[in-house]
Amino acid sequence: MSNDRQPQLIPGHPPLTANASLQAALGGFEKYMEDEGFAVNTQKAFLSDVRLLGKYLGIGQPIGEIGTKNLNDYLYWLQFDRGVPCSPKSYSRRVTTLKVFFGWLYDTGVLYHDPSAAVVQQSVSSPLPSVPTEADLEKGLAVTQQLREGDDENSPDARPHLLLTLLLQTGIKKGEAMTIVPNHIDRSDPDNPILFIRYRDPGKRYKERKIAIDPDWLETLDEYLEQYEPSDTLFTCTARNLEYILSDVAQSAGLDKSLFSFENLRWASALHDFMNEVDADRIRQRLGLSKVTWRETKAKLEKLQQKQVEVYS
């Protein structure tokens, strides 16, 4: 059977072939991950995993001579014979590394078959999060809107509504919310405002991104800015105080006070887009996830979608 796929070419190196060693394949694998936008930490972990495979098989082992039995024997060695504890999470990641590494070699025509395809991935994913339903969110938004308007006894407070709507529209993490400054919000086009997520740590620049926000949110923002007059970051209180605000909103809405956590609202935001058939890569980029992390996230979203359908069926 002929193989029409072209062998992998790495700038500055001869074409990678099935006779190349694991050591020789590492450079191409690293470039592949860089080009695909893998997170820096993921790249380091995957390269370390391939080197560990090389320690077991021999770093000079030709990649074309590695079969499924070799990989299964290696995984058994990791768990029982290496003499070093291998947590379920580390084991699962190393299986993922094998599938990504050998899948890349197969897809680029270096290998005629993928020896990792038959390797069983043992799932050690965390339990599904407790995502608030649309009805739960409507109750919460009714509470924050009432706080925003105020009443005879309480002055208007836009902060709870600003926070809740921000998290639902963007799905950003708590740490990301805490580092927003007003000039991270580009309102030069009032009909298409954009939130820029920035990182001070150069090692996390790959997480930086821009997220479109609802133009109506700017009205709440202006009310908040007038009320709180932040001098630096958008939110003038601690992260713990923001958590208290969200739990108070949930409790006032008659819900479990832990339901409106930053993490649960992040999932609610992603699930809303997922159920509305927003392009998967757009959701991934908005959340700031690598393609590898997105795999597990997408699987969870599919399960959460099924749960939501059952609730309303």
Looking at 67, 89, 124, the residue that finishes a domain is 124
Q: Is the domain of 50 the same as that of 143?
A: no
Identify the CATH number of the domain in which residue 178 sits: 1.10.443.10
Q: How far apart are CA 182 and CA 231, in angstroms?
A: 9
Alpha carbons within 13 A on the beta-carbon side of 51:
8
Q: Is the domain of 278 the same as that of 175?
A: yes
Strands (E), the chain: 185-186, 194-197, 209-212
pLDDT of residue 124: 52
Q: Which residues pair with 194 in a beta bridge?
A: 186, 212
Structural domain for 106, as ranges: 1-124
Looking at 71, 97, 124, the residue that finishes a domain is 124
pLDDT of residue 122: 60
Q: Give residue-wise pLDDT tens across range 168-214.
A: 999 999 999 999 999 999 999 999 999 999 988 777 777 889 999 99
Within a domain: 299: yes
Q: Give residue-wise pLDDT tens across range 272-289.
A: 999 999 999 999 999 998
Q: How far apart are CA 99 and CA 14, in angstroms?
A: 24
Largest CA distance in the chain: 81
Q: How far apart are CA 202 and CA 106, in angstroms?
A: 34
pLDDT of residue 200: 82
pLDDT of residue 126: 63
Looking at 78, 105, 124, the residue that finishes a domain is 124
**Closest listed residue to residue 121, CA positions, set 138, 105, 97:** 97
Q: Is the domain of 281 the same as that of 170?
A: yes
Q: Is the domain of 3 the same as that of 77?
A: yes
Task: Dig out the tokens for 289 from the structure.
Answer: 């996830």
- What is the tally of structural domains in the chain? 2
Q: How far apart are CA 235 and CA 1, in angstroms?
A: 63
Task: Dig out the tokens for 241 from the structure.
Answer: 């105080």
Query: Tokens 């002055």 belong to which residue?
Result: 155
pLDDT of residue 123: 53
Which parts of the chain register pLDDT below 50?
Answer: 1-4, 9-14
Task: Dig out the tokens for 238 from the structure.
Answer: 């601690």
Strands (E), 119-201: 185-186, 194-197
Within a domain: 129: no
Identify the CATH number of the domain in which residue 27 sits: 1.10.150.130
